[in-house]
Structure 1
Amino acid sequence: MAGEKKAYPLRISAAVLDAMQRWSDDELRSVNAQIEYVLREALRKAGRLKAGPTRPTPDDDTD
């Protein structure tokens, strides 16, 4: 169950999406994987997520 993925619709401003696209391109990730990475890091730093892998696995990079 740890690797289970759930779809979630996200409303996001065009400016934020454009910035995420540029960042994900720089990191060689899809936008989806980059958003998940950023969220996971923020949750980890806030102590709301157990430490674990911070880079998505190859199957996480599907859009």
Structure 2
Amino acid sequence: MAKKESSIKSFVLRVDSETMEAIEQWAADEFRSTNGQLQWIINEALRKSGRLKKTRKERVTDDEKD
């Protein structure tokens, strides 16, 4: 089965030094890169707000709760 190709877009993000230090520390605590941590934070926020489609795993988990 062929993998679905996803496109990754780059952009510049400006954050103050205090915020960046907090993100870097959080990333280190979670054994992630700073970029990976930012992607995770954004993904979690989008998922929790209902702005991302649920993955198959999330749908199955939700169905099990019913």
What is the root-mean-square deviation in Å for CA atoms of aligned residues? 1.4
Q: Any unmatched runs of 5+ in structure 1?
A: 53-63
Larger relative helix fraction: 2
Runs of 4+ in 1 over 3 A off after TM superposition: none
Q: Any unmatched runs of 5+ in structure 2?
A: 56-66
When the two structures are superposed, what TM-score results if normalisation uses the length of structure 2? 0.71
When the two structures are superposed, what TM-score results if normalisation uses the length of structure 1? 0.75
Between Structure 1 and Structure 2, how many residues are aligned?
A: 52
Report percent identity of matched pairs: 38
The one of the two structures with greater contact order (alpha-carbon pairs below 8 A, sep at least 6) is 1
Max Rg structure: 2
